[in-house]
């Protein structure tokens, strides 16, 4: 059973650029959530995808967008990068989605994004 | 909306001593609660979770936590600290229904003194 894999592990971008982060969910999981963890903070929920549809969104602007593919892998796209977007971006997969199933989240190791 | 508060951003204990990391939650309905550990430059690893079964939950690496509804608490404990326990610990909450969004606390950095 493979876990959650994220790529790239590190990335440096210039303010105003666009970035795409990728996540492969754990085998058997149909739900992917993305979190932003700023330095010294707890992770903040960005959004979740369930069966290729957005299934909830946190307090992030529209320049944060995502996709989920038929194999349940996912992308996080951030446009018009700002210095405050520098953070660790974590992907988590689960087999829940909608309904009261006991959650089992598996987190990836994250992508460290630095905006200069 | 649900939230968690972790009391103490930094906790130091001696090797072999009791570890106690505090977490209080706020939720309009009985929540699910989690403790995660994060080592430097790594993702989050689940230590344990409470999902409305037994109130005393045992996790990995000798950690356990007790759900106390009357105190709205879910404190993490370990009887004897080991050097390898040094890490950042996060308490998180989610609701049993909906999209399972996790709301995290701000974290507690645990330092082990040799």
* pLDDT tens readout for residues A7-39: 999 999 999 999 999 999 988 888 899 999 999
Please compute the mean of the pLDDT values over residues A47-70 and round it to a whole number. 94
More confident residue, A100 or B93: B93
What is the rounded end-to-end Cα distance, in angstroms, of chain A? 37
B1 confidence band (pLDDT: 50, 70, 90): confident
Reported as a single tens digit per residue, the pLDDT across B66-75 is 999 999 999 9
- Phi and psi at residue B71, in whole multiples of 5°? -105, 0
Please compute the mean of the pLDDT values over residues B22-29 and round it to a whole number. 93
Q: Is pLDDT above 80 for B99?
A: no
**How many helices (H) and strands (E) in chain B?**
0, 11
The secondary element (H helix, E strand) that includes residue A49 is: strand A44-50
CB contact under 8 A, A56 and B102: no
Q: Which chain A residue has its CA at the smallest distance from B6's CA?
A: A42
Beta carbon pairs, A and B, within 8 Å: 69
B5 touching A (Cβ < 8 Å): no
Cα separation, B16 vs A81, whole angstroms: 46
Contact (CB, 8 A) for A82 and A93: no
Non-local CB neighbours of B62 within 8 Å, separated by 6+ positions: B78, B79, B80
B32 touching A (Cβ < 8 Å): yes
Q: Is pLDDT above 60 for A99?
A: no
CB contact under 8 A, A42 and B104: yes
Task: State the pLDDT at residue B71.
Answer: 94
A100 confidence band (pLDDT: 50, 70, 90): very low
Reported as a single tens digit per residue, the pLDDT across B26-36 is 988 888 999 99
Alpha carbon of A85 to those of A45, A82, A88, B83: distances in Å? 14, 5, 9, 33
B46 touching A (Cβ < 8 Å): yes
Please compute the mean of the pLDDT values over residues A58-79 and round it to a whole number. 96
> Measured between CA atoms, how close is B14 to chain A, in angstroms?
23
**% of chain B with per-residue pLDDT over 90:** 77
Between B97, B98, B105, which is nearest A42 by CB?
A: B105
Q: Is pLDDT above 80 for B111?
A: yes
Between B43, B100, B107, which is nearest A103 by CB?
A: B100
Contacts of A43 in chain B (CB under 8 A): 44, 90, 102, 104
How far does Cα B65 stand from its chain's mean position?
7
Q: Is pLDDT above 60 for B22?
A: yes
């Amino acid at each position: 059973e493979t876990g959650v894999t994220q790529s790239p592990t590190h990335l440096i971008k210039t303010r105003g650029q666009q970035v795409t982060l990728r996540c492969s969910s754990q085998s058997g999981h149909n739900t992917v959530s993305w979190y932003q963890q700023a330095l010294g903070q707890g992770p903040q929920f960005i959004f979740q995808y369930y069966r290729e549809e957005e299934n909830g969104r946190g307090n992030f602007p529209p320049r944060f967008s995502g996709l989920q593919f038929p194999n349940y892998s996912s992308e996080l796209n951030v446009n018009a990068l700002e210095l405050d977007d520098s953070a660790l971006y974590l992907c988590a997969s689960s087999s829940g989605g909608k309904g009261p199933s006991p959650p089992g989240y598996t987190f990836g190791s994250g992508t460290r994004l630095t905006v200069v | 909306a649900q939230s968690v508060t972790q009391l103490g951003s930094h906790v130091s204990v001696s090797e072999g001593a009791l570890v106690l990391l505090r977490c209080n939650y706020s939720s309009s309905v009985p929540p699910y609660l989690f403790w995660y550990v994060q080592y430097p430059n790594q993702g989050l690893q689940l230590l344990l979770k409470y999902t409305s079964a037994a109130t005393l939950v045992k996790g990995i690496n000798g950690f356990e936590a007790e759900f106390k509804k009357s105190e709205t608490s879910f404190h993490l404990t370990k009887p004897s600290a080991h050097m390898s326990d040094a890490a950042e610990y996060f308490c998180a909450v989610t609701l049993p229904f909906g999209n399972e969004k996790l709301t995290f606390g701000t974290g507690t950095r645990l330092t082990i003194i040799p």
